[in-house]
Each structure stands twice: as C-alpha cells, then as structure tokens.
C-alpha cells in the first residue's frame, strides 16, 4: 500500500482533516486502531488511537491534547506524536520495547465542539459548548470539571467565566467519557495531558498545596523529562505541583487520575515564545512537537521500567 496522504503535520487543520488522518494512520499500521470512546455535547465523536501490539488489557499509557480548544498547537503536536509512535515502532528501540509490553491510547482532540467553534466562530474559545441551564452563557472549563477538589479555589462558579467549573463534577460528556473509559479499562499506569502555553511540566496536586505521596519520584521524573525537552532547542520548562507552580486549581484532570491510582499523572504546558501565547504560528508546530516528544518518551520508558 502506498504510504502517506500528503498530510502536512506542520500546519493547522480542521477537525474533519484531523479525523481523516486518524483513519489514515489506523489503515496504515496494523497495530493502530481508531476507537470511539463517546461523543461530545454536540454529538461529535471522541476518537482515540489505540496502539497495541497484542495481549489482553495490558498496562496502558494515556495521552490527550486539546481539552482547551484554542490551544491549537496541542492537537497538532498530538497528531505528529501519533505518527511518530506509529512510524518508530520496529525501528526505535524505546518505542518498540514500550509497545511490546504496554498499550498506548491517544486522544488528539479532547474537546471537539470547542475546537470546531474556534475554527468557525471564536478563535479565543477554550471551554466546551454545553448549554448552561439558567444562564445566557455556554460552556464549562473541562479542566475544572473532574471529581477531585471540584468547585474549589482556582475555578469559577460563574457560567460566563472561562474557568467555570460546571454545574457538577463530570457534568461535561467530554470529561465523563474519559472518566468512564479510564475506569472501565482499569489498568492505566500513566496519564499525560497536553496544554499550551507557558512551559510547565506539572504533577498533582492542584486543588491542594500538599505534596503527593509520590512527590520525590514525580519531581525527579519531571526534571528528567524537562531536561529532555531542553536538549533539542534549549526550551526551559519549570517543574512542580500545579498548586505551587502556577496556582491552586480545583477539579483538574491529573488530580482525578492520580486520586484514581494513576501514579504517573503529568500535565504539560507547551512552549511559549513570549510573542504569541497560545496563538503559536504553524512554523512552531514541528519544533514544539519534536521537543515535547523526548520528554514524553522519557516518562513512558520510566513507566515501563517501574511497574507498580
């Protein structure tokens, strides 16, 4: 079969084009499968790429991007990373070893309604697009909607705010779909979520300013991953718990995953040129993705080598 569809990983794409590329990757590589884990508020499918070379319910790693829809470089990086994982299996020793023992699940567009809305109506949109009963405003910040310190400091109770936590934990179907999937799988060992921007590599907690039980290991692994990022273009990442690194924030993704037994829970805020914030020009997609990849691989290899 002929390789490639001319898909340009160095430019931004619509949801339709991204989903078509997921189909292409799934058709091109026998160990890649596109699965639907749910649908968004506006009934768009939530697609995950499953990388699996066999076995049954192997220990797994989760990777997602684009939960804040306007952070386009994250969805674009996730696609590049998907292609990188697929094409490196069998040629790169680390990726091969990883996929020979573990499964990997990648959700490149965690908030498809918001993503489409950024393309069609408002480039600044970051939330979901759910209708809030009793309010003229739409959408919930899906990174304040998880059942961990829900409704606490760092989230807004105002439905018109960009950090609105939602009417209840898991009120957003985009969040609930991931929660249900992680719970039903039951064997996730790492959860990595990509955001932009501000060059941070964070671990729990966000809803409280106390150190997690695995603080020493997460801090050390985080620093190692940050060094891996720096090795390519010199981009410096700050490492630490969400609460002390940026601010206290209730209801965040990795607080929920950590509380539910996923020890290696990290949130990355990708590069900041100091000029564009999350409106990174497309010329930065490949540098961003390529510098992020060694950090992700570093964490994933650590997870493989430190079973629990």
Partner 1 sequence: LETFVGHQVLRVRTSNEEQVKQLQLLESLEHLQLDFWINPSASAVPVDVRIPAASVQSVKAFLESHGIEYSILIEDLQDVLDQEKQDMARAAQ
Instruction: Give the footprint of partner 1 on this chain (CB under 8 A).
Output: 8, 11-13, 120-124, 162-163, 198, 246-248, 274-279, 281-282
Q: Identify which of 259, 279, 262, 263 has the alpha carbon closest to the alpha carbon of residue 271.
A: 279
Residue closer to partner 1 (CB basis): 245 or 257:
245
Cβ at position 8, least distance to partner 1 in Å: 6
Q: Identify which of 288, 249, 246 has the alpha carbon closest to the alpha carbon of residue 270.
A: 288
Cβ at position 122, least distance to partner 1 in Å: 4
Residue closer to partner 1 (CB basis): 97 or 161:
161
Print the SS3 string covering 243-307. HHHCCCCCCCHHHHHHHCCCCEEEEEEECCCCCCCCCCCHHHHHHHHHHHHHHHHHHHHHHHHCC
Residue closer to partner 1 (CB basis): 10 or 261:
10
Q: Which of 219, 269, 291, 305 is catalytic?
A: 269
Question: Quick one: 267 exposed, middle or buried, by C-beta within 10 A (0-12, 13-18, 19+)?
Answer: buried
Cβ at position 247, least distance to partner 1 in Å: 3
Contact yes or no for 70/126 (Cβ under 8 A): yes
φ, ψ dihedrals at 202, nearest 5°: -120, 155
Q: Look at residue 165 and give its three-state secondary structure.
A: coil
Residue closer to partner 1 (CB basis): 76 or 104:
76
Q: Can 291 be counted among the known catalytic residues?
A: no
Cβ at position 241, least distance to partner 1 in Å: 13
The catalytic site residues sit at: 269
């Amino acid at each position: 079969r002929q390789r490639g569809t001319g898909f340009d990983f160095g430019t931004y794409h619509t949801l339709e084009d991204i989903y078509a590329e997921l189909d292409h990757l799934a058709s091109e590589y026998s160990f890649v499968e596109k699965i639907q884990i749910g649908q968004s508020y506006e009934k768009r499918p939530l697609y995950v790429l499953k990388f699996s070379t066999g076995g049954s319910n192997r220990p797994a790693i989760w990777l997602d991007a684009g939960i804040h829809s306007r952070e386009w470089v994250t969805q674009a990086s996730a696609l590049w990373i998907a292609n990188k994982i697929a094409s490196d299996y069998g040629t790169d020793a680390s990726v091969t070893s990883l996929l020979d023992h573990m499964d990997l699940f990648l959700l490149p567009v965690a908030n498809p309604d918001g993503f489409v809305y950024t393309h069609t109506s408002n480039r600044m949109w970051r939330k979901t697009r759910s209708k809030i009963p009793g309010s003229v405003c739409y959408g919930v910040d899906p990174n304040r909607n998880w059942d961990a310190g829900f409704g606490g400091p760092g989230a807004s109770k105002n439905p018109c705010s960009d950090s609105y936590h939602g009417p209840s934990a898991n009120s957003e179907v985009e969040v609930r779909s991931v929660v249900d999937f992680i719970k039903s799988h039951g064997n996730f060992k790492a959860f990595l979520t990509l955001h932009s921007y501000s060059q941070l590599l964070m671990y729990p907690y966000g809803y409280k300013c106390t150190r997690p039980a695995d603080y020493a290991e997460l801090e050390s692994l985080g620093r190692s991953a940050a060094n891996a990022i720096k090795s390519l273009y010199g981009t410096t990442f700050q490492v630490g718990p969400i609460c002390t690194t940026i601010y206290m924030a209730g209801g965040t993704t990795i607080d929920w995953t950590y509380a539910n037994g996923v020890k290696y829970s990290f949130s990355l805020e990708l590069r900041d040129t100091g000029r564009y914030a999350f409106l990174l020009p497309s010329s930065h997609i490949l540098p961003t993705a390529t510098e992020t990849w060694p950090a992700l691989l570093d964490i994933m290899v650590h997870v493989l080598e430190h079973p629990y």
